[in-house]
A = this chain, B = another copy of it.
Amino acid sequence: MKSDTQDAIDAVLALDRLVHEPARLAILTVLGSAELVEFGFLETVCRLSKGNLSSHLSKLEAGGLVAVDKSFRGKRPLTRVAITDAGREALQRYRLQIAALIHSAPDPDN
């Protein structure tokens, strides 16, 4: 078996499952391209229910990948989320690992 295929297998097996879960991957992708994101915006863009989004954010926060800020806008509670440095590193590491998978692919055209 080609060594780059073995590299891809090792990369896949080493994937951070906290990041790899699709909804959390979507959340981190949004946060990775912004400073501070409102809960409602994440709900819409990632097409998640309030409950699912809260549960994924709790896991990401427990893993140190995001920080959740709770405040008020007027009398209404406002939740905003930011990716942490550890979160950016985890996302970057994940992308490099997944890139190893893509570049190991035999070219289907030859």
Contact = CB atoms under 8 A, between A and B. Distances in A.
A102 interface: yes
Contacts of A17: 22
Given A25-B101, A101-B95, A1 B13 contact: no
Contacts of A23: 13
Interface of A: prevailing SS: helix
Contact of A101 (B15, B46, B98): B98
A79 B53 CA distance: 42
A51 B5 CA distance: 24
B9 A29 contact: yes
Given A1-B34, A95-B101, A102-B99, A8 B29 contact: yes
B32 A105 contact: yes
A98 B26 CA distance: 11
A55 interface: no
Contacts of A8: 29
Contact of A30 (B5, B26, B105): B5
